[in-house]
Structure 1
Amino acid sequence: MVGFPLHHPKGRELTGGDLLAQCLKHLGVEVAFGLHGGHLDAFLMGCEDIGIRLVDTRHETVAVQAAEGYCRISTKPGVCFVTANSGFSNGLPGLATAYGDRSPILCITSSPPLRDTENNSLQGSIDQVVAARPITKFAHRVVTPEECPRIVSHALRVAQSGPPGPVLLDFPIDVLFTPVNPNLIAWGSITSPPSFPPAPHTAAVEAAVKLFSSAQRPVIITGTGARGQPARRQLFKLAEDCSIPVFNTSKYASRTPSSPMLSQATAGTLAILPLVQMARPDLVVLLGARTGMFLGGRSGAIIPDKDCKLIQVDCDGSEIGRSHPVDLGIVSDVEAFLSAVNAALGSTAATNVDKSWVQSVLGLASMESPYEKEPEVTDSGRLHPYHAVKNLVSGIEPGSIIVLDGGEASAWVGDLASRCQPHTVMTATGYLGFLGNGFGYTLGCAIAAPDRKVVNIQGDGSAGFHLMELDTYKRFGLNIMTVVVNNSSWGMSSNGQDLVYGTDHPARPISALSSATEYDVVAKGLQNTTAKISQIAEIRSTVTKFQQTSGPSCINLIVDRKPVHPVTTAMEWTPS
């Protein structure tokens, strides 16, 4: 025996579906998200028998995205299942976002019997492996049940090694329902220790220490590659020993453990340094943070394009120098890099750092918003989005997980979310700008961290994608508060049209939504606690009350689409 002891189900033979479930359980999988399909029944029965929790959603896209949210909070691989062809097709958007955002998830699907390949059988038109390959790190069809241990362990290693990402395994229905011959099982590496992540070369550590030691105005920017608690502890040891301010990106902001060197603002705040007549950084250290849309692209606004050294640490060598010249690129796991640098520095604190500059940079987060003195109610009679969101955030419990979805709605909240001292703030739309992800991310977070409040904040546009998942939240008794920031429009679209074509132009193609839509009424029908709010005085008390109430809730928060959020202005495009 080079594997694990098999668990034989009571009253029936051990099938491929049982073996698949037992492989996942052995590899540490505790929960799987999905939607039922008869092709998968042997696997689902195996999960029930071995103790893998099954969480069923109302749409397959949400199931895949729930696996994403789960892995981001638990740091374990997320697992989802989608049935043959129809379910798989619905799950493709989730695979696409997981691929774009480097989320280590395993998607399990099924297909018609092998003998019916090319027979126009039910749910058999699309070759799922071929379709999945462009948006996964690994996609494979398992053709005998005895191959499960070898292929499953390989797939999960691929998902979690190097740049993480989604993998897909297709199990034809006959493979799942066929009895297993124990003598033919290919165990592969299923009992081997996990692979160790890449670590930095000694010379790279020495070069990094030299750059740290010479910098006067260093900053560290972290991304999802630095989200684990061990990495964060090493991060704050370095930051505190060397007086280096730390900024999260707006895509993923981890705020635990806390540190005096962690800015309450996101990295985008660095763009205002010239406006307040402060010197810009002379060293930027990117830790598991990719350049691109969340760091100002190639504008130089966040990462200076001159008179600044750049260290980029990433487990994916292809990300280093992708859009910015790099002075030191290191292919390494972030925790391994930080541990090595801390060991090399010892107890020697950086002596060149301008500590007054550091404190001034950290103080940027407390600057008064330009919207603070504007009226709480706009000329339209609706709530000013800044004031509405500020009061919303003020009622959220410290230590909550906040998931942002939508365009301007998520931007307004992202600016203020740190005020409630959250555990994590994640922007669900990701690199694809994919609206609707927040429902699945929220579900995964709530399952991964049942002791925390989870707040699912949507624009009214993004809310329309998967509002039925409020039923899922209720069925599982999850403490999720959904807030629909409702401005009766695709705010980023309509405001973008205003910016490009001017407010006098009458046409506003397909950018409006109905002001009559009652999101709270729909939510009440799905057995959520609900409220519709159009007065500032009601916001904080309602949020506080709902967070003290067990189970899911939904707030329909009525706001104006004006003023335009600066993120929309920054993205304005005008033909040359």
Structure 2
Amino acid sequence: MGEQIEGHGGALALAALRAYGVEEIFTLSGGHVFPVYDAAHTTGVPIYDVRHEQTAVFAAEAVAKLQRRPGVAVLTAGPGVTNGISGLASASFNGSPVLVLAGRAPQFRWGAGSLQEIDHLPIVAPVTKYAATAPSVEEVPTTIVEALRVALTPHRGPAFVDAPLEVIFSTGAGPAPEAAPVPVIEPDPAELAKAAALLAGAERPVILAGSDVYTGDAVAALRELAEAAKVPVFTNGMGRGALPPGHPQAFSKARRPAFAGADLVVVVGTPLDFRLGFGDFGAAQVIHIVDAPSQRAEHVSVAAAPVGDLRLILTALADHSGGRDRNGWLAELRAAEETAEVKHAEEMAADTDPIKPARVYGELRKVLDPDAVTICDGGDFVSYAGRYLTPATPGSWLDPGPYGCLGTGMGYAMGARVTHPDRQICVLLGDGAAGFSLLDAESLVRQGLPVVMVVGNNGVWGLEKHPMQALYGYDVAADLQPGLRYDQVVAALGGAGETVSKPSELGPALRRAFDAGVPYLVNVLTDPADAYPRSSNLA
């Protein structure tokens, strides 16, 4: 007979979480989940608490993204759960194995009007892969194990488990929980052969690698394919940094000529959504490589669609796609890349009044370490980050992903700092996005989690103001108070910061921020007339 465990529902829940490598929980305190806190506190599992439940879920998602294992948010019943819905929805779109473990009003008194009595499951079901109520204290661990098994099975995603008050506070016993094996999806050999033949025959192929390349631990396999087949590689999301700057096949600034001139586009580990023109690459054929059948694109015809473990697929393609001379194609794109780099360098050095966002990133490039974790939370201002910053390390880029939810910044910062206590953590915020979660700078201060926040403060909702002006000749509901001192907010919460209004002040301010050892906000007054040049359509 295996090892037995005994305790209240919180202890049994924590045992199941630890079987999956969970080392911390993120929460906002609530009486419905006190036993989980008791179990964590008495066994030395860190509890990080926040000022809004969405921050707890985003922190759990950052851990899930960066560490490629479950991240856990513990939320109290009712509004605790509903406040976390945006985080669950983002995790769903991002394929992040987040577990929300929630309290629930007592089942024995259901319908009598207990505090925060609401059935969570119909609310969370559309944005989770698995949602269940633990029916008894003995079934708490098995319910969590099943939730995490589903969350980790490709295509990954969030799960939800709640436990009624009388269940989580009761005492029970049972076998020690063990992590269930995650199935490996083997690709169809025929589909692999079709993709390999297309790639071997292409004269001007391009690879676009997305977040699932990192999530699926396929970075080494991607590099192997790029080097064997001599194919230029572009990236988005957490695919950024898969090939470091300077790698012969790494490109970032020549995307337009690459896609315009390609005869084959290989999209790996990211959906054919609005960010990629819904999969329309003109005359080029498309290979779409995904980790699960649910990720197949149904809205566009593709030439091949291998499905399965990305490491297996990319390694197989590397073994059968080499030998073709693509030096001319690579040289053509390298020339375009270098031309764009010259233009970007000029933009990043511009000495303008007001400050252009490009100059902010020009100064950031000088102070960011190669393994710094960059977090994006905003619209126009952080769009420039993708244009001007080039991560050098896999797993060092966090953005909201295709759901586009603002307010991820402080939660992602917390999860990133917990994951990487010795790296630079830099949060890029639009001033609009800062309004969603900046009060959680207090949570960072109180728990000794230093990060650098850079706010592009243009006093407008730029992503809405400029398009409305173009469409209607006017704008409404698109202005913020100009010149607000977001740095003073962080200082009042126990951190520090400063406001920058001149380009020459940027570099010294950023260096002070990274040297401070506390949450530090650099509030940069940027040009409200500056609009990011967008080419993608929302629909």
Deviations 1:180-212, CA, capped at 9 Å, x for gaps? 1x3xx377xx43652232121222332222222
Q: 2: CA distance between counterparts of 1:285 and 1:108?
A: 38
Kept after mapping to 1: 8 A contact 2:62/2:415: yes
Change over 3 Å in CA distance of 1:421–1:226 after alignment to 2: closer
Aligned to 1:231: 218
Gaps of at least 5 residues in structure 1 are 9-13
Q: Which residue of 1 aligns with 2:124?
A: 132
Confirm whether residue 461 of structure 1 aligns to residue 432 of structure 2.
Answer: yes
CA apart distance, 1:486: 0.3
Cα 1:423–1:314, aligned 2, differ >3 Å: closer, same or farther? closer
What's the counterpart of residue 458 of structure 2?
487
Q: Confirm whether residue 241 of structure 1 aligns to residue 228 of structure 2.
A: yes
CA distance in 1, matches of 2:331, 2:185: 34
Query: Retained in 1: the 8 A contact 2:371–2:396?
Result: no
Q: Which amino acid aligns with 1:281?
A: A
What amino acid is aligned across from residue 145 of structure 1 in structure 2? V
**Whole-Å Cα distance in 1 between the matches of residues 395 and 498 of structure 2?**
25
Equivalent of 2:198 in 207, 211, 214: 211
Q: Is the 8 A contact 1:395 1:541 kept in 2?
A: no
Deviations 1:421-457 (A, max 9, x none): 4655545332222111122122212211222111100
| Equivalence for 1:328 | 304
Determine which of 556, 559, 569 is the counterpart of 2:523.
Answer: 556
Q: Distance in 2 between matches of 1:79 and 1:451?
A: 22
Q: 1:363 to 1:232 in 2, by over 3 A?
A: farther
Q: What are the Cα deviations for residues 324-357 of structure 1, in whole angstroms up to 9, with x where unaligned? A: 3111111112112123334x43xx8322x42121
**1:570 Cα offset (Å):** 5.1
- Aligned position for 2:502: 535
Q: Which residue of 2 aligns with 1:305?
A: 282
d(CA) in 2 for partners of 1:524, 1:186: 49
Give 1:429's aligned amino acid: P
State which of 274, 279, 282 in structure 2 corresponds to 1:293: 274
**How far apart are the structure 2 equivalents of 1:18 and 1:270?**
51
- Distance of aligned partners of 1:257 and 1:247 in 2 relative to their CA distance in 1, 3 Å threshold: closer
Cα 1:374–1:113 shift into 2, 3 Å: closer
Question: Are 2:346 and 1:372 equivalent residues in the alignment?
Answer: yes
**1:403 to 2:379 alignment:** no
Of 337, 345, 349, 2:322 maps to 349
Q: Is 1:451 the equivalent of 2:398?
A: no
How many Å separate the matches in 1 of 2:270 and 2:334? 20
- Which one of the candidate residues 323, 330, 343 is aligned to 1:358? 330
Range that drifts further, 220-229 or 137-146: 220-229
Which residue does 2:387 correspond to in 1? 415
| Count, aligned residues | 536
- Structure 2 counterpart of 1:509: 476
Q: Equivalent of 1:22, from 8, 15, 40? A: 15
Letter in 2 for 1:382: P
Paired position in structure 2 for 1:11: none
Letter in 1 for 2:264: L
Deviation at 1:238, TM superposition (A): 1.3
RMSD (Å), alpha carbons? 2.4
CA distance in 1: counterparts of 2:348 and 2:266, whole angstroms: 37
Residues 437 and 290 of structure 1: CA distance in aligned 2, closer, same or farther (over 3 Å): same
Give the counterpart of 1:388 among 327, 335, 360.
Answer: 360
**In the TM superposition, what whole-angstrom CA distance separates every residue of 1:483-522 from its partner, at most 9, and x where no partner exists?**
11000111111111221123xxxx4311110014210111
Contact 1:79–1:105 under 8 Å retained in 2: yes
Partner deviation per Cα, 1:166-188 (whole Å, 9 max, x = no partner): 110011111111011x3xx377x
Pair 1:445–1:139, CA change in 2 (3 A) = same
Distance 1:362 1:108, change over 3 A: farther
In structure 1, the residue corresponding to 2:404 is in which secondary structure? coil
Does structure 1 residue 255 correspond to structure 2 residue 241? Answer: yes
SS of the equivalent of 1:329 reads coil
Query: Partner of 1:282 in structure 2?
Result: 263
Q: Take 1:323 and 1:363, find their aligned partners in 2: how far apart are those partners?
A: 34
- The reply to whether residue 40 of structure 1 matches residue 26 of structure 2 is no
The offset of 1:227, in angstroms, is 0.5
**3-state SS of paired residue (1:331):** coil
Query: Per-residue deviation at 1:117?
Result: 0.8
Distance 1:485 1:394, change over 3 A: same
Distance 2:216 2:273 in 1: 25
Given residue 108 of structure 1, which amino acid in structure 2 is its aligned partner?
Answer: L
Contact 2:62/2:398, CA 8 A, preserved across alignment: no
| Kept after mapping to 1: 8 A contact 2:185/2:309 | yes
Q: Which runs of 5+ in 2 are unaligned?
A: none
Partner in structure 1 of residue 407 of structure 2:
436
Out of 173, 177, 181, which is 1:194 matched to?
181
| Contact 2:67-2:419 at 8 Å conserved across structures | yes
Please identify, of 63-72 and 289-298, the stretch whose mean Cα deviation from structure 2 is larger: 289-298
Residue in 1 that maps onto 2:100: 107
Task: Please report how far the alpha carbon of residue 551 of structure 1 lies from its aligned counterpart in structure 2 after TM superposition.
Answer: 2.7
CA distance in 1, matches of 2:71, 2:512: 32
- Once the 2 structures are TM-superposed, how far is the Cα of residue 104 of structure 1 from its aligned partner? 1.1
Q: Structure 1 residues 138, 333: CA separation in 2 closer, same or farther (over 3 Å shift)?
A: same
Structure 2 CA distance for aligned equivalents of residues 555 and 446 of structure 1: 18
- Superposition TM-score, scaled by structure 2 size: 0.93
Residues 140 and 163 of structure 2 are in contact (CA less than 8 Å); yes or no, is this contact kept in structure 1?
no
Q: How does 1:180-191 map to 2 (within 5 A)?
A: 180=172, 182=173, 185=174, 190-191=177-178
- Measured after TM superposition, the shift of residue 552 of structure 1 is 1.8
Residue aligned with 1:515, SS: coil
Distance in 2, matches of 1:572 and 1:255, equals 26
Paired with 1:468 and 1:561, the residues of 2 have a C-alpha distance of: 24
Distance in 1 of aligned mates of 2:163 and 2:347: 60
Structure 1's 374 and 389: CA in aligned 2 closer, same or farther, altered over 3 A?
Answer: closer
- Tell me if the contact between 1:256 and 1:423 (Cα under 8 Å) persists in the aligned partners: yes
2:295 is equivalent to residue 319 of structure 1: yes
Q: What is the one-letter code of the residue matched to 1:538?
A: E
Does 1:338 find its partner at 2:314? yes
Match of 2:134 in 1: 142
